[in-house]
Structure 1
Amino acid sequence: MYTLIPPIGADPPERKVIFVGLRGVPEIQGGVETHVAAISARLAERGWQVEVLGRAPYLASQQPYIWKGVTVTPVWAPRSKSFEALAHTALGLIVAARRHPDLVHIHAIGPALLTPLARLLGLHVVVTHHGFDYDRQKWGRFAKSILRTGEAMGMLFSHANIGVSKAIVDTVRRKFSVGAIFIPNGVENPPPKPGTSYLDGIQVTPQRYILSVGRIVEEKRHLDLINAFARLNDPGLKLVIAGAADHAGPYQREVEAAAAATPSVVMTGFQRGQALFQLYRHAALFVLPSSHEGMPMVLLEALSYGVPCLASDIDANLALDLGAENYFPLGAVDALAAAMRAKLAARDPAQSAERAARTIDSFGWGTIVDRTMDVYENALLGWRPGSVRHDGAGPAKRAELGGRR
């Protein structure tokens, strides 16, 4: 079979991609959701037809709508921690098959369990591996087994794989002998310096609070942070926890009780837009005490604002190579308290500004979208990284991508 090549100067054919496996866009809590929002809008700017199939309970409208050139379509999903992602993805793939897109892009290894179904429906599939979700504390043995199977199905049955960290790419190669392309999460350019209207409303003083951003789930280890903050015993300092739980449960109630019992802890719920900009911009310190991350998007965001940061010493955080002084041992509450005290006492605005510029330069979305588009075009050719190509890509490029057919 031959593919017709358009004449020189002709406009390329318009491509269509459908995103599946996430709650929706825009401004919906979650790293995957932030990732897809950034990529989808930029793909639309570059002439792609883009549709996001979101989970109806999380979307502001129950009718399809357009956001920054992206069509967002609500698809039914149960509000269930265990079955929500799979039920929504199954329905989403059936909807996608009726749309006849060039590609379906599945995000995360839970939804990736249904990659074989996508193939049976005749879809070209790209899967992004966002992290080893079976390591999350909230899942029991059965759920972890399903997630491991989802990882295998996604990596083995897709036309192309993306990993958001080098650790993920290396693991995929080792476990499945399949190539994956490293394309990290990115950051937006921070907006001009915002005011303090939101901070005034929650009675928080600029540069006199520690910030945590993320969903209220076990692996984010908010209790470690609250306990460490209490050890600082600084009446002029506050701890702001920005985030919410997707599903009410014992851990959420435990965090709320600990916050209520600890003076100067402020829980804001999920924040976005100007409120979140102000929280990042005016924080004295950002702390990420997680036991599990894929590639820590909130840490990148904090770095892009020039906020001094502390992170647990898990592999995903260490991969950002922030320097030993910016890490603490996972779960070591006394060590976290000591590190927070030291960071607050030794703030260096020049160093923070330099790190912010470096973060924006290294993790800008423009380059990330370019690389994602390359993966799409190769997936449409039925090519896996490392296979022989006849489009001029030389050995160096093929070596960079790695993998097999």
Structure 2
Amino acid sequence: MKITVTGTRGIPNIMGGIETHCEELFPRIVKKGFDVTIIRRKSYVKDYISEYKGIKLIDIETPKKKSFEAIIHTFKAIWKAKAIKTDIIHIHAIGPALLTPMARLLGMKVVFTHHGPDYDRDKWGIIAKIILKLGERLGTKYANEVIVISKVINDLLVKKYNRRDCHLIYNGVPEPEICEFPEYFKELGIEKDKYILGMCRFVPEKNLHHLIEAFTKTEHRGYKLVLAGDTDFEDDYSRKLKETARKNGVVLTGFIKGKKLHSLLSNTHCYVLPSSHEGLPIALLEAMSYKRPVIVSNIPANLEVGLKQENYFKVGNIQELSQKLQANLDSTYQKVEYDMSPYNWDNITEQVANIYNNINK
């Protein structure tokens, strides 16, 4: 069975939650015997390879403009999927899902994964929000099968569209790669267990500016704040965030993967995610897999992870976040045992493969 994937910028080593999701999921899908092609956005690609872990990669030119790159790419990807005789096109995210009816009209089965109501993100204007909401509607109504990554999203689709047969399949997290990287820590000017880690894209809804402000209010006594990540599109927010970070002695790593990222996760005193919008945050799950203490905002997607009450603070409440940070800094580090069983990639792969196999029955 031939599967074509769109709605992602591409893999491997491309920043983003959906990109991480696809990079973990689809090599495992290939091992299940499926023929998988991922159609990438050429403007994000730096490797120019045609295959990755058994997945065929096709690069398509699209303008690197946040307002319409996804929809143009998806339009081209659907035609390419038809040309290569795809059985199932798997569309990720609500923006690309706008073209679900087109894929159906061209005779392909559609699986749509809803990663979160992106129209709630601060970066989108009124017109973009309307288009994203329409994409959610068309994807939900016309996809053969719908996957949701959280119960929050499932409840949303039941309430708005009365779609009651969605498949709840959580994001996964791989086995942690515990490691040390003293040379990298020396380069960053940090010490093991002497820093707080924020790890995400530099976009407004992640509220990293709140984290910086909250951290500056603590008595951090030699601890540093490290922000790992960057932005896809440099804008006023990301420029101001970086400027504020540098003025306050925050360590900026840029976008990192591999040993650098693993070493930061292995040795942080605490991971913090202050965001106002999430689907199901892979970065949080990764931090949990490393058994690190976490402090996160009390938005529904974070609450669904089921942490203890002391791990949460009211979203946007900088004073409360600062108090939680101070309590963490004042405590001796202790590893935390989380239940990671719902986020096992092999189990997730089995569930997705069953959807593919049953779609024609």
Please tell me the TM-score bracket, short chain as reference.
over 0.9
Q: 2:294 aligns to what? A: 309
Unmatched 5+ stretches in structure 1: 1-14, 382-405
Q: C-alpha separation between the residues in 2 aligned to 1:300 and 1:326?
A: 14
Moved more, 330-339 or 226-235: 226-235
Q: C-alpha separation between the residues in 2 aligned to 1:175 and 1:232?
A: 43
Q: Which letter does structure 2 place at the counterpart of 1:366? A: D
Q: 1:326 aligns to what? A: 311
Q: Are positions 1:150 and 2:135 aligned together?
A: yes
Q: Are positions 1:162 and 2:147 aligned together?
A: yes
Question: Is the Cα contact below 8 Å between 1:106 and 1:126 reproduced in 2?
Answer: yes
Q: Which letter does structure 1 place at the counterpart of 2:180? A: P
Q: Which letter does structure 2 place at the counterpart of 1:76? A: E
CA offset at residue 197 of structure 1? 2.6
Q: Are positions 1:369 and 2:349 aligned together?
A: yes
Equivalent of 1:300, from 285, 297, 311? 285
Question: Is the Cα contact below 8 Å between 1:103 and 1:380 reproduced in 2?
Answer: no
Q: 1:234 aligns to what? A: 220
Q: 2:261 aligns to what? A: 276
RMSD: 1.2
Alignment of 1:138-287 (within 5 A): 138-178=123-163, 179-263=165-249, 265-287=250-272
Q: 2:2 aligns to what? A: 16
Q: Are positions 1:53 and 2:53 aligned together?
A: no
The DSSP-based 3-state class of the residue aligned with 1:232 is coil
Q: Which letter does structure 1 place at the counterpart of 2:3? A: V
Q: Which letter does structure 1 place at the counterpart of 2:133? A: R
Question: Is the Cα contact below 8 Å between 1:102 and 1:380 reproduced in 2?
Answer: no
1:203 to 1:93, Cα distance in 2 relative to 1, 3 A: same
Q: C-alpha separation between the residues in 2 aligned to 1:201 and 1:45?
A: 39
Q: C-alpha separation between the residues in 2 aligned to 1:364 and 1:349?
A: 24
Question: Is the Cα contact below 8 Å between 1:288 and 1:299 reproduced in 2?
Answer: yes
CA offset at residue 235 of structure 1? 4.2
Q: C-alpha separation between the residues in 2 aligned to 1:108 and 1:20?
A: 9
CA offset at residue 253 of structure 1? 1.0
Deviations 1:229-267 (A, max 9, x none): 11113240111101111011110111011112113x011
1:348 to 1:362, Cα distance in 2 relative to 1, 3 A: farther
Q: TM-score, normalised by structure 2?
A: 0.97
The DSSP-based 3-state class of the residue aligned with 2:359 is helix
Unmatched 5+ stretches in structure 2: none
Q: C-alpha separation between the residues in 1 aligned to 2:28 and 2:98?
A: 27
CA offset at residue 41 of structure 1? 0.6
CA offset at residue 115 of structure 1? 0.4
Question: Is the Cα contact below 8 Å between 2:178 and 2:290 reproduced in 1?
Answer: no
Question: Is the Cα contact below 8 Å between 1:184 and 1:363 reproduced in 2?
Answer: yes
Q: C-alpha separation between the residues in 2 aligned to 1:89 and 1:198?
A: 38
CA offset at residue 68 of structure 1? 0.8
Q: C-alpha separation between the residues in 2 aligned to 1:61 and 1:333?
A: 41
The DSSP-based 3-state class of the residue aligned with 1:380 is coil
The DSSP-based 3-state class of the residue aligned with 2:246 is helix
Q: C-alpha separation between the residues in 2 aligned to 1:56 and 1:101?
A: 21
Q: 1:94 aligns to what? A: 79
Question: Is the Cα contact below 8 Å between 1:259 and 1:266 reproduced in 2?
Answer: yes
Instruction: Give % identity.
Output: 39
Question: Is the Cα contact below 8 Å between 2:179 and 2:259 reproduced in 1?
Answer: no
Q: 2:69 aligns to what? A: 84
Question: Is the Cα contact below 8 Å between 2:269 and 2:333 reproduced in 1?
Answer: no
Q: Which runs of 4+ in 1 moved over 3 A?
A: none
Q: Are positions 1:105 and 2:98 aligned together?
A: no
Which protein is bigger by CA-based radius of gyration?
1
Deviations 1:335-369 (A, max 9, x none): 1010011123234525x1x22xx22x331100000
Question: Is the Cα contact below 8 Å between 1:308 and 1:347 reproduced in 2?
Answer: no
Alignment of 1:23-62 (within 5 A): 23-62=9-48
CA offset at residue 150 of structure 1? 0.2
Question: Is the Cα contact below 8 Å between 2:42 and 2:61 reproduced in 1?
Answer: yes
Q: TM-score, normalised by structure 1?
A: 0.87
Deviations 1:123-172 (A, max 9, x none): 11000000010100111111111000000010111110000001111111
Deviations 1:263-293 (A, max 9, x none): 3x01111010111001111100100000000
Question: Is the Cα contact below 8 Å between 1:183 and 1:371 reproduced in 2?
Answer: yes
CA offset at residue 376 of structure 1? 1.4
Q: Are positions 1:338 and 2:323 aligned together?
A: yes
Q: Which letter does structure 1 place at the counterpart of 2:235? A: G
Q: Which letter does structure 2 place at the counterpart of 1:332? A: N
Q: Which letter does structure 2 place at the counterpart of 1:251? A: Y
The DSSP-based 3-state class of the residue aligned with 1:267 is strand
Q: Which letter does structure 1 place at the counterpart of 2:330? A: A
Q: Which letter does structure 2 place at the counterpart of 1:368? A: I
Question: Is the Cα contact below 8 Å between 1:105 and 1:128 reproduced in 2?
Answer: yes
Q: Which letter does structure 2 place at the counterpart of 1:376? A: Y
Question: Is the Cα contact below 8 Å between 2:181 and 2:263 reproduced in 1?
Answer: yes
